[in-house]
Structure 1
Amino acid sequence: MKLFKVWALILLIAVLTVGCANTEKSGSEAKETKEVKEVKETNNYEGLTVKLGVQGSGGLWGKAREEKWFEDEFGQFGVKVEWAEFQSGPPMTEAIASNHLDFAGLGNMPIIAAQAADIPFKVISQLLEGKNNVAIITPTNSALKTIDDLKGKKIAVAKGSNAYNFLYRGLAESGIKDSDVEIIQLQPDEAQPAFESGGVDAWATWDPYITLNTLTGKAKVLTDGEQLGVLSPSFQIVRKEFAEKYPELVTLYLKVFEKTRLWEEQNLDEALNRYATERKVPVEVIKGTQVRSKIINIPVSDEIIAEQQKTADFQYEIGNIRKKINVSEVFDNQYVKEALK
């Protein structure tokens, strides 16, 4: 009889424990639904579509698009997601200027040019450190060894890109005038065949093009940001009007991006194999891009802002932007700080 009472007591405790757990779970789910409901009631998202800009297809963004992480999170608020692909940063800022894009990840120079052109946007997080993600490459069998050897040579570069700024600053700091070289403005899809065919002697570009060419034996690095002391960080930006109207959605965007970034970090082998299959290159090539261009999502430091100001001042001095700008005016870390809590 005593044994029966003991087992009855154990069973009662087990039932109560499961009941409490279910109650807690239900309460948590109810709380989450309540939070979403409160945001919906506070803000009117009727008919709203968030437009996300990416450079190329696949990669980290490809995973997020396949899993519909952004669609699911924004969908809780009745907000639709639309994707747009670009080859480089300048067309992205043009799309933001015409209200055809809300978010974009791009290099330092397009951001400076956009600010100088009075395009309204905010920088909301840093995306790349900027030491090795931009470089000048030459064919593997090229006799060129230093940046000084570029005198009289043809150099391909995408106008207005971070590589454009890197090239001009690198030449200037090496005492090479614009007139000493022939700069040919080409987008990556135009520059690649020109580079391979010998139509240009060098190519100022960014990753993955650096690694794709060097690790497949097509190119060697003549110099990069770390060697020249010229940083080329990348950032995430948002259309200013969108941020002012929907600050909570800017934070949500960065939260989902951080979820995507952490997926890559925690499933690196899977991610590398995925990217290699997408680009039809050996996985070693993709590992190389990770070394040069590891994605981050952090507040922008005062040191990086100071470096950005140097770039802006230089671009004004050589006449690439029309007016002097104070770059600190466009940086706003509040969203990423909230997203990373």
Structure 2
Amino acid sequence: MPTSRRRLLIGAAGAAFLAGCGSEDTGSAAHSGKLRIGYQRFGGLSLSKARGDAADAEWSLFESGPALTEALKAGAIDVGQTGEAPPIFAAAGKINFKIIGTSEPVPQGEAVLVKADKGYRTFADLKGRTVALNKGSNVNWLLVKLLEQAGLRITDINVKYLKPAEGRPAFDSGQVDAWIIWDPYFALAEQPGVQILADATGLADNREYLLAAPDAVTGKTALIKDFLTKYRATTDWGIANPAERAKILAPELKIDEPTTTRALARSAKPLAPITPEIGAELQTIADGFTKLELIPGQVDIRSRIDEQFNQAFL
């Protein structure tokens, strides 16, 4: 791999910016009796916030997982939720955290979008083309698996790293040939003339992961346990009541109800306890990133697994 390309790829987590953290005094908040929760647009925590599961908590919205892990590094949040790649890039960036929960697989919740009139039929057809995605997010692992399946190297395509807010206009205007993205941005981009070239089915599990700051794990244990129990119950309620869930989340997300319903139908999955098997799954992803020199050196992501909150997910 050329040195210039390698430099672009290494250190993805470090390139993420700290967004949406609010203006609270993070030093005093870290030791207060409040739980500070980082969430992403549409992720399961959005429903929990909308239903008031933690009325006394301080909530911070992030555009992507890498930005959320930077908030953990800065001591701005206690817990937060990401996809499968951000924890690995964060660990490679020496950010300290524990992985305290996960979800069932969500492979249909991320996909490669192309313009239907371009005639692309498989990911291999994108050789020599420009593919946009958010650096260090869950779709980073999907890209690795898509390349592997197509028999391509990362140098066979032109990777353009764009945040979701940048990716959509670049895709719509034809500045990129394909966009790899997750819900709800995925659902919002499903307009006439847009084709789903592939999703993560058979390639990546695309689980949700709950991360926690080590000092919160030890200093706010009861608060975290109480919140996770409510979070699981709310997630189960939403899956059992999809129409009511969409009515609550649509205004919270500022997305129309039909789009919210479509995205939730494929992306909302039950929460699950963290286990050694999940740790091994994450380690496989980390080793894959290391092999491709997407992260600098080996990462022991299994050591970040913390099973003490598993009872909340049972």
- Shorter chain as normaliser: what TM range? 0.7 to 0.9
Between 1:201-210 and 1:274-283, the stretch displaced more is 274-283
Q: 1:235 aligns with which of 187, 206, 209?
A: 209
RMSD: 2.3
Between 1:306-315 and 1:294-303, the stretch displaced more is 294-303
Change (3 A) 1:128 1:86: farther
Q: Which residue of 2 aligns with 1:322?
A: 296
Give the alignment's TM-score, normalised by structure 2: 0.82
Q: Which residue of 2 aligns with 1:170?
A: 146
- Answering whether residue 54 of structure 2 is matched by residue 70 of structure 1, we say yes
Q: Which residue of 2 aligns with 1:255?
A: 229
Which has the higher relative contact order, 1 or 2, with Cα contacts under 8 A spaced 6 or more apart?
2
- 2:239–2:268 CA contact under 8 A, matched in 1: no
Summarize deviations over 1:212-232 as a string: whole Å, max 9, x none. Answer: 323x335221112214x2332
C-alpha distance in structure 2 between counterparts of 1:299 and 1:255, whole Å = 12
C-alpha distance in structure 1 between counterparts of 2:84 and 2:211, whole Å = 11
By how many angstroms is 1:264 displaced? 1.5
Aligned residue runs from structure 1 range 1-341, under 5 A: 47-56=32-41, 61-71=45-55, 80-214=56-190, 216-227=191-202, 229-276=203-250, 278-281=253-256, 283=258, 285-337=259-311, 339-340=312-313
Q: Which residue of 2 aligns with 1:31?
A: none
By how many angstroms is 1:59 displaced? 7.2
C-alpha distance in structure 2 between counterparts of 1:94 and 1:280, whole Å = 26
Aligned residues: 284
Helix, strand or coil: the match of 1:108? coil
Query: What amino acid does structure 2 have at the position aligned with 1:315?
Result: F
By how many angstroms is 1:66 displaced? 4.2
Helix, strand or coil: the match of 2:108? coil
Structure 2: 5+ residue runs without aligned partners?
1-29
Helix, strand or coil: the match of 1:221? strand
By how many angstroms is 1:67 displaced? 4.2
C-alpha distance in structure 2 between counterparts of 1:91 and 1:120, whole Å = 15
C-alpha distance in structure 2 between counterparts of 1:261 and 1:126, whole Å = 12
Sequence identity percentage: 27
C-alpha distance in structure 1 between counterparts of 2:53 and 2:237, whole Å = 11
C-alpha distance in structure 2 between counterparts of 1:306 and 1:59, whole Å = 24
Helix, strand or coil: the match of 1:69? coil
By how many angstroms is 1:323 displaced? 2.2
Query: Max radius of gyration: which structure?
Result: 1
By how many angstroms is 1:286 displaced? 2.9
Query: What amino acid does structure 2 have at the position aligned with 1:251?
Result: K
